Amino acid sequence: MNQTSIGGTKKKVANALAMTGLIIIFIAYMFPFIMVVINSLKQKRDIIKSPFSWLFTIKGLSFDNFVKAFNQMNFLNAFKNSLIQVVTILGLQIGGLLSGSVITETIFSIPGMGRLLVDSIAFRDYPAIQGLLMIFAMQYVLINLVVDMLYGVINPKIRYD
């Protein structure tokens, strides 16, 4: 066999393993968010048994028909109360991903802003440290702003004057 083809195969395997490692890291970071989504989906029983469901039975809709109609509703309409919780946790998780990138990039030697921050601290490059901390802070603030704006989209009763 040709030496270049063996080297190319090794690089492909190394790239595949690196990508697999990144996927595992992503799943580990997103695990709490996934659990919140699953918990919100389990709250469907509580929504069906809530007082507003009895309003439909008072108006003449049988409980079985209500459950059938409820199961056919759009996800956003069915889980508006649960979606606020999910969006909040998602925003916090993304903020955690930003701060966790410093540790992850340092441990796994991945080039990125987190690794640059650690290197800047090691070399006492104060302007780079200040700039990177400002970028991290602005990202966190913008993510929280988007989360707050999504509250108004999910539940129109929430208004910002």
| DSSP states along 17-44 | HHHHHHHHHHHHHHHHHHHHHHHHHHTH
Residues 100 and 144 in one domain: yes
> Count of domains in the chain?
2
Residue 52 counted as domain residue: yes
Query: Three-class SS of residue 102?
Result: helix
Q: Is 23 within a domain?
A: no
Residues 58 and 34 in one domain: no
Domain that holds residue 55: 44-72
Position 12 in a domain: no
Mean pLDDT, the chain, whole residue set: 77
- Whole-angstrom distance, CA of residue 40 vs CA of residue 62: 25
Per-residue pLDDT band for 46 (boundaries 50, 70, 90) equals: low
pLDDT at 6 over 60: no
Q: Same domain for 35 and 106?
A: yes
Write out pLDDT tens, residues 48-80: 666 666 666 666 766 677 666 666 654 445 566
Question: Is 60 inside any structural domain?
Answer: yes
Does 4 map to a domain?
no
Angle at 144 between CA 138 and CA 148, to 5 degrees: 140
**Alpha helices (H) in 73-112, listed in sequence order:** 75-78, 80-107
